[in-house]
């Protein structure tokens, strides 16, 4: 597998990347220009008022004033223009309308994280495949997927052969394995379930995402099984077995896991995953998330999660700078799965996936997963989405 540096070199030398700006220099014709927005692209450390010119589905120019012809213009004055958002833990492929709903929120790439296991993975794959944006899935190590009684409470459901067989048949769509490890999901089987998830992953060299928090096993015992590139979601889950000790210090095993390349992800969700006091302590300890994700479901749209922008806004409230908030939802997320390697950026030549977002000032209420309410002074709202260079119809 290519690392990021190799990929960038290879891609830059490819004819498609070099040719497009030349053609444009001759004709100055764009399919779409996003005018006058505050362009924040953490991949290039850019934060400035710019026009974004798009042609042939790719970013063709970023400049203070682009004057050429365009078939369509988006007026982004007073708005943020950022790379299309990438949500690495959603359940968007659980329902047919899921991908389009989050696309309208600016989510131009998603990972359905473990909605289904080997038995019914074809259902989530079919939805991800028909999604307008890039959608991929993680296979739940529990072969029956998410179950009210607990995915792997019956250890026989953590079926290595069945999961491997499903991945083998769908190498292009299954990009990792999800292991949900809370006591109400895996009970005392957590360690063995994770061991089996890694056994599935090994021959394919793909990541495992663990759902941490309220596990039977101590977190350090589980982290010991994680390799570089694996993802820990629900990083702000309260005890038992959170990432901090009683004194608010990040566990040394958590620090060590990050050093060896394990990623730590938000996974907002609706219950058991996010509590304000834990988030305060973790942020205060300087252990910022690598990525944000919503753990979004169609039901979550009504309360708690709402949309990716609402989830991002919670971290503005918690004191994270805006460019870092954007980075967690774009460039950082693009590094978590190879399918997104050329996304999460607005550099010239990149696929033109763009989110136009409004940053409103006022008083906004945010909730954690424990009915804790907090109010913040800023909130992000989706305004327009561009996917592969085309404006997506806005949601009613
Ligand atoms: Zn989830």
CA of 311 to the centre of ligand 1 (A): 14
Q: 3-class DSSP state for residue 265? A: strand
Instruction: Name the token pair of 163.
Output: 């999961």
For residues 351-362, give the mean pLDDT: 98
Q: Which residue has the higher pLDDT, 73 or 6?
A: 73
pLDDT for position 303: 83
19 pLDDT higher than 60: no
Cα(312)–Cα(392) distance, rounded to whole angstroms?
Answer: 21
- Select the more confidently predicted residue: 3 or 308: 308
Helix intervals (H) in 263-318:
276-284, 308-317
pLDDT at 256: 98
Residue 6 has pLDDT above 90, yes or no: no
Q: Measuring CA to CA, which residue among 124, 129, 61, 138 is closest to residue 92?
A: 124
**Helix (H) or strand (E) run with residue 373 in it:** strand 373-387
C-alpha 88 – ligand 1 centre gap (Å): 10
Q: How far is the CA of 356 from the centre of ligand 1 (A)?
A: 26
pLDDT band at 312 (very low <50, low <70, confident <90, very high): very high
For residue 113, the CA-to-ligand 1 centroid distance in Å is 6
Mean pLDDT of the chain: 93
* 269 CA from centroid of ligand 1 (Å): 7
The string of DSSP letters for 203-263 reads GGT--EEEE-SS-SS-HHHHHTT--TT-EEE-TTPPSSS-SB-TTSPBPHHHHHHHHTT-E
3-state SS string for 84-144: CEEEEEECHHHCCCHHHHHHHCCEEEEEEEEEEEHHHHHHHHHHHHHCCCEEEEEEECECC
CA–CA separation, 370 and 274 (whole Å): 8
Residues with CB under 5 A from ligand 1 (ion): 295
Confidence of residue 26 (pLDDT cuts 50, 70, 90): very low
Please indicate, yes or no, whether the overall pTM of this predicted structure exceeds 0.95.
no
pLDDT band at 395 (very low <50, low <70, confident <90, very high): low
Residue 5 confidence (pLDDT): 43
| pLDDT at residue 17 in the model | 46
User: How far is the centre of ligand 1, averaged over its atoms, from the C-alpha of 146 (Å)?
Assistant: 9
pLDDT (0 to 100) of residue 21:
46
- What is the average pLDDT across 128-152? 98
Between 102-116, 173-187, 290-304, the lowest mean confidence (pLDDT) is in 290-304
Distance 296 CA to ligand 1 centre (A): 7
Q: Does pLDDT of 359 surpass 80?
A: yes
Per-residue pLDDT, 9:
38
CA of 266 to the centre of ligand 1 (A): 11
Q: How far apart are CA 244 and CA 238, in angstroms?
A: 9
128 has pLDDT over 80: yes
What is the maximum alpha-carbon separation in the chain? 66
Nearest to 219 by CA among 189, 241, 246, 234: 241
Phi, psi (degrees; rounded to nearest 5) at 272: 85, -5
pLDDT at 295 over 80: yes
pLDDT at 4 over 50: no
Interval between CA 208 and ligand 1 midpoint (Å): 13
Each residue's pLDDT tens digit, 243-258: 999 999 999 999 999 9
Q: How far is the CA of 89 from the centre of ligand 1 (A)?
A: 6
Q: Give tens-digit pLDDT for 200-240.
A: 999 999 999 999 999 999 999 999 999 999 999 999 999 99
CA of 317 to the centre of ligand 1 (A): 23
């Amino acid at each position: 597998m290519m690392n990021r540096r190799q990929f960038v070199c290879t891609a830059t030398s490819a004819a498609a990347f070099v040719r497009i700006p030349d053609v444009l220099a001759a004709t100055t014709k764009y399919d779409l220009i996003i005018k006058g927005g505050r362009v924040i692209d953490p991949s290039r450390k850019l934060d400035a008022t710019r026009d974004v010119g798009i042609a042939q589905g790719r970013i063709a120019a970023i400049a203070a004033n682009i004057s050429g012809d365009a078939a369509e213009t988006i007026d982004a004055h007073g708005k943020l223009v950022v790379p299309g958002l990438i949500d690495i833990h959603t359940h968007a492929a659980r329902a047919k309308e899921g991908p389009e709903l989050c696309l309208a929120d600016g989510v131009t790439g998603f990972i359905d994280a473990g909605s289904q296991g080997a038995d019914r993975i074809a259902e989530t794959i079919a939805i991800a495949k028909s999604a307008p944006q890039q959608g991929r899935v993680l296979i739940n190590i529990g072969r029956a997927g998410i179950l009210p009684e607990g995915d792997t409470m019956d250890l026989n459901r953590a079926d290595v052969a069945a999961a491997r067989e499903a991945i083998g048949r769908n190498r292009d769509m299954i990009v990792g394995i999800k292991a949900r490890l809370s006591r109400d999901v895996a009970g005392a089987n957590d360690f063995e379930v994770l061991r089996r998830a890694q056994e599935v992953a090994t021959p394919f060299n793909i990541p495992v995402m663990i759902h941490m928090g309220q596990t039977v096993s101590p977190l350090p015992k589980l982290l010991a099984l994680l390799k570089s590139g694996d993802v820990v979601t629900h990083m702000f889950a309260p005890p038992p077995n959170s990432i901090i000790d009683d004194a608010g210090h990040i566990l040394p095993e958590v620090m060590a896991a990050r050093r060896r390349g394990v990623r730590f992800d938000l996974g907002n969700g609706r219950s058991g995953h996010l509590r304000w006091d834990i988030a305060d302590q973790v942020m205060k300890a300087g252990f910022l998330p690598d990525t944000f994700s919503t753990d979004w479901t169609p039901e979550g749209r009504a309360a708690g999660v709402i949309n990716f922008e609402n989830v991002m806004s919670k971290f503005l409230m918690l004191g994270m700078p805006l460019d870092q908030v954007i980075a967690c939802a774009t460039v950082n997320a693009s590094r978590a799965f190879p399918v997104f390697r050329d996304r999460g950026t607005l550099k010239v030549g990149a696929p033109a996936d763009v989110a136009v977002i409004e940053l409103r000032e006022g008083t906004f209420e945010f909730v954690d997963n424990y009915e804790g309410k907090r109010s913040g002074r800023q909130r992000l709202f989706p305004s327009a989405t561009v996917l592969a260079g085309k404006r997506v119809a806005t949601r009613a």
